[in-house]
Chain A
């Protein structure tokens, strides 16, 4: 079964840092691009970042550029999101999602259940 499981969320003060993890199983992790997508409480989905299959290419939404860093460890089948200088508006459930390629370009599937990040003093 293809599965993504996030961890690492929690309560952090404004200006603080947090590292999220996404453990992948059931597929060849090293062959797929991966994304982080977040959803603030009661709000819509927002794309945050993506990384290519070997970790050499990354992109970010303007709202997190310079503060967040996406990375991966293909030996551990794990995706990461290092979040620094956190703000209240970063409060959200953070989902990882497998990206498509070739004929499935643009596909986000599957999605993990998400991990809640709350930024508050």
Chain B
């Protein structure tokens, strides 16, 4: 079964820019996988950031963006803030009604 890969952890300085990626154990991610991104802080329900590769959910600031970079989906955060410190999950549509989440990236702002 194909695994969706994410960096286990990542760090960014306040005000800096960070790119989190979402790949496949075999093959390349394209828009056909409809990548979406979710932010989750401990004890909270996931918050939608990006869907269909690059569409921001309502209320998400434009310093957060989604794209395809090379063979992966990417989530870029510019002007990082303390409250960006969270877990970030991507999910891909594998076809035939199946979705798979990545293992998540723990983002530290320091």
Contact = CB atoms under 8 A, between A and B. Distances in A.
Interface string A102-117: 0111111111111000
Interface of B: 1, 34-36, 38, 40, 45-46, 48, 51-52, 55, 57, 87, 89, 91, 93, 96-104
A105 B99 contact: no
Interface string A76-106: 0000000000000000000100001001111
A44 B96 contact: no
A107 B101 contact: no
A104 B51 contact: yes
A11 interface: no
Contact of A106 (B1, B35, B87, B102): B35
Interface residues of A, number: 26
A114 B48 contact: no
Contacts of A35: 99
A59 B103 CA distance: 21
B51 A44 contact: no
Query: Taking each of A103, A109, A112, which has the highest tally of chain B beta carbons within 10 Å of its own beta carbon?
Result: A109
Contact of A45 (B1, B52, B57, B104): B104
Interface in A5-48: 35, 37, 44-47
A62 B34 CA distance: 21
